[in-house]
């Protein structure tokens, strides 16, 4: 039991501290629990972002019962199956502090990437995406060699798909003026895809120092 | 003389509020998609000797073609190609604890309210939704995908998915499982489409047959929606999928009822076993639903991911 009598001649000197919410009023995310995950990449999955080809990452979650993850959430067999199919599993520690972050949720831990910023306003959950940070991470994966540079043939397939879409729009634009806007956008996108591929295949030589 | 007004009776002979004789369900996605014919049910692993089921994928019946061989020439031996997909089941469970006082004061008919029976009845759909969540999670592991990051889903992208599946000789009816926002974008894009293709909205009969998540047919593809469709690109996008029959399969298992245990309820048509565990000292009933399920991608080229922006 704490003393209630005065312990110093100059009077009590008791420091206050910031109040804490009771345990039952903890800030928690109002969403379903989600297990930890690892990013992974398949050599065929690339996407055009801000004029460059970046990897389209997937997630392998430690979710018991999903794609060979065992009853305890062990992903050994799942990893093996993915690697056999050519996927690269990206370890957490390639990003300082790890890229998988856990939040406390109403129904257990909620795992998100560090570039997802959840906030609760008026009881509603909103998640903002830090796109710039995430794309910078994707660029680093390429620069550091964690993901191999894209094979030209996969990029050609993506470009061929898009070229077919542009051809289709071009044909329809003749009879449907409303399609013309989409055609302009997709033609421009095709040009960016081709330019990005050119930079990928023939990177500019570093400038010589004077 | 004073009138007998409400104020005179309030609190004694009248109540400030009474409970309606029916509950309204809280808004939630209750679309159990695992029953869609495109997802194959490989059955129960009860009594099989393993928690994993290996599904052989064998190149028979048309995978290898005959070839012309010269008269009198010896035909060479051909080995068949084969692979296998493995479905590993794991426990899926949900538990509610309800006190006797909360249960006995339930004013609704047995099974309709928040009482022991009502909680037990809700276990079947809880399992169905979990299985749906497990299936939609598989879109992340598909090697093929269409669509662009932070771009709304359009009819053209939807066609891209159909073309990808057709290029791989997939046949039968395709099914697309999309997030609600993806469906909105797709329908918005359809408004500017002309030509013979049309969206056939689901009728009441179709919803009854195919489940709550069925939204109709578009270009011969069954459209399903689910809020469990995962996000991609650090939450910037949603990643739905289009599949042919046999791309994805699931297996289940049910815990066998144990003699001498507490009461057991087996909801009709479900793999779930609901057990009631009494804590008499605390006047508490634990309602525990248990089941086992596993899902896996059976053939990668039978499905394609559909990527589009998450924002409206």
Q: For residue A30, is it within any domain? A: yes
Residues A100 and A178 reside in one and the same domain: no
Q: Which residue has the higher pLDDT, B280 or B36?
A: B280
Which stretch of B121-125, B139-143, B288-292, B297-301 has the lowest confidence by average pLDDT?
Answer: B121-125
The alpha-carbon gap from A57 to the nearest alpha carbon of chain B, in Å, equals: 7
Cβ of B74 under 8 Å from any chain A Cβ?
no
The alpha-carbon gap from A65 to the nearest alpha carbon of chain B, in Å, equals: 4
The reported pLDDT for the residue numbered A60 is 93
Residues A51 and A109 reside in one and the same domain: yes
Distance from C-alpha of B301 to C-alpha of B273, rounded to nearest angstrom: 35
Q: For residue A72, is it within any domain? A: yes
Residues A80 and A37 reside in one and the same domain: yes
Q: For residue A3, is it within any domain? A: no
The reported pLDDT for the residue numbered B194 is 64
Give the residue from B216, B2, B306 showing the smallest Cα distance to A56: B306
The reported pLDDT for the residue numbered B204 is 65
Residues A135 and A167 reside in one and the same domain: no
Residues A85 and A186 reside in one and the same domain: no
The total number of structural domains that make up chain A:
2
Question: Hunting for tokens 């956008």 — which residue is that?
Answer: A185
Burial track A145-169 (b if 16+ CB lie within 10 A, e otherwise) = eebeebeeeebeebbeebbebbeeb
Which of B235, B292, B307 faces A127 most closely, judged by CB atoms? B235
Q: For residue A76, is it within any domain? A: yes
* Cβ-based contacts of A57 with chain B (< 8 Å): 232-233
Give the residue from A124, A113, A121 showing the smallest Cα distance to A59: A113
Q: Which residue has the higher pLDDT, A109 or B12?
A: A109
Which of B92, B140, B300 faces A65 most closely, judged by CB atoms? B92
| Boundary residue ending a domain (A122, A143, A164) | A143
The reported pLDDT for the residue numbered A4 is 55
Cβ of B188 under 8 Å from any chain A Cβ?
no
* Cβ-based contacts of A44 with chain B (< 8 Å): 143-144
Reading phi first (left if > 0) and then psi (alpha if -120 to 50, else beta), residue B216 is in: left
Distance from C-alpha of A136 to C-alpha of A128, rounded to nearest angstrom: 17
| Boundary residue ending a domain (A96, A111, A143) | A143
Which stretch of A25-29, A46-50, B154-158, B280-284 has the lowest confidence by average pLDDT?
Answer: A25-29
Residues A120 and A176 reside in one and the same domain: no
Q: Please compute the mean of the pLDDT values over residues B103-124 and round it to a whole number.
A: 77
pTM, rounded to two decimals: 0.82
Residues A56 and A139 reside in one and the same domain: yes
Which of B156, B231, B232 faces A165 most closely, judged by CB atoms? B156
Q: How much is the ipTM here?
A: 0.80
DSSP category for residue A30: S
| Interchain CB distance below 8 Å, B149 and A168 | no
Task: Note the pLDDT tens digit of each residue in B82-95.
Answer: 888 899 999 999 99
Q: What residues make up the domain containing A192?
A: 152-201
Residues A64 and A112 reside in one and the same domain: yes
For chain A, 210 residues long, the average pLDDT of each consecutive 10-residue run is 56 78 76 92 92 93 92 92 92 92 90 92 86 94 90 90 88 80 88 89 69
Is it the case that residue B25 has pLDDT exceeding 80? no
Residues A139 and A161 reside in one and the same domain: no
The reported pLDDT for the residue numbered A1 is 47
Q: For residue A52, is it within any domain? A: yes
The reported pLDDT for the residue numbered B111 is 61
Sign of CA dihedral A109, A112, A113, A117: negative
| Boundary residue ending a domain (A93, A113, A143) | A143
Residues A138 and A157 reside in one and the same domain: no
Residues in chain A: 210
Q: For residue A197, is it within any domain? A: yes
Residues A171 and A120 reside in one and the same domain: no
Token code pair at residue A110: 């909620």
Q: For residue A170, is it within any domain? A: yes
Is it the case that residue B22 has pLDDT exceeding 80? no
Task: Note the pLDDT tens digit of each residue in B35-56.
Answer: 778 888 998 888 888 888 888 8
Residues A185 and A126 reside in one and the same domain: no
Q: For residue A5, is it within any domain? A: no
| Interchain CB distance below 8 Å, B234 and A71 | no
């Amino acid at each position: 039991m704490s003393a209630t009598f005065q312990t110093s001649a100059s009077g009590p000197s008791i420091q206050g501290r910031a109040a804490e919410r009771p345990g039952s009023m903890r800030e928690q995310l109002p969403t379903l629990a989600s297990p930890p995950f690892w990013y992974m990449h398949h050599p065929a999955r690339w996407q055009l972002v801000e004029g460059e080809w970046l990897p389209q990452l997937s997630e392998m979650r430690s979710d018991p019962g999903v794609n060979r993850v065992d009853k305890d959430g062990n992903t050994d067999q799942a990893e093996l199956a993915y690697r056999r199919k050519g996927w690269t599993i990206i370890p957490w520690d390639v990003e300082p502090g790890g890229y998988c972050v856990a939040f406390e949720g109403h129904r257990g831990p909620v795992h998100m990437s560090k570039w997802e910023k959840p906030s609760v306003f008026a009881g509603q959950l909103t998640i903002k995406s830090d796109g710039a940070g995430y794309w910078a991470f994707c660029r680093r994966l390429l620069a550091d060699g964690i993901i191999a540079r894209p094979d030209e043939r996969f990029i050609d397939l993506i470009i061929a798909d898009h070229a077919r879409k542009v051809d289709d729009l071009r044909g329809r634009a003749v009879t449907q003026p409303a399609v013309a806007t989409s055609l302009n956008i997709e033609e421009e996108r095709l040009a960016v895809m081709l330019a990005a591929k050119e930079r990928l295949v023939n990177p500019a030589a570093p400038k010589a120092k004077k | 003389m004073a009138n007998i007004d409400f104020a005179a009776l309030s609190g004694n002979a009248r109540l400030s509020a009474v409970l309606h004789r029916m509950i309204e369900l809280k808004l939630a996605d209750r679309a159990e998609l695992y029953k869609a014919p495109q997802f194959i049910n490989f059955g129960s692993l009860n009594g099989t000797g393993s928690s994993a089921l290996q599904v052989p994928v064998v190149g028979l019946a048309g995978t290898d073609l005959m070839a012309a061989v010269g008269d009198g020439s010896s035909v060479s031996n051909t080995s068949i190609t084969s692979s296998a997909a493995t479905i590993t089941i794991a426990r899926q469970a949900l538990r509610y604890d309800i006190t006797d006082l909360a249960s006995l004061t339930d004013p609704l008919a047995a099974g309709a309210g928040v009482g022991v029976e009502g909680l037990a009845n809700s276990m079947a759909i809880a399992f169905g939704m979990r299985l749906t969540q497990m299936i939609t999670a598989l879109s992340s592991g598909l090697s093929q995908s269409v669509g662009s990051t932070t771009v709304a889903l359009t009819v053209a992208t939807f066609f891209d998915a159909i073309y990808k599946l057709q290029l791989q000789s997939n046949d039968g009816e395709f099914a697309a499982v999309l997030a609600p926002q993806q469906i909105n974008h797709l329908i918005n894009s359809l408004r500017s489409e002309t030509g013979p293709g049309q969206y056939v909205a689901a009728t009441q009969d179709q919803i009854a047959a195919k489940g709550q998540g069925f939204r109709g047919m578009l270009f011969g593809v069954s459209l399903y929606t689910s809020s469990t469709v995962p996000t991609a690109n650090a939450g910037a996008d949603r990643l739905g999928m289009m599949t042919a029959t046999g791309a994805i399969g699931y297996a289940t298992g049910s815990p066998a009822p144990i003699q001498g245990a507490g009461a057991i309820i087996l909801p009709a048509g479900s793999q779930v076993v609901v057990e009631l565990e009494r804590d008499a000292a605390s006047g508490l009933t634990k309602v525990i639903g248990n089941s086992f399920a596993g899902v896996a991608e059976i053939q990668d080229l039978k499905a394609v991911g559909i990527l589009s922006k998450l924002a409206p």
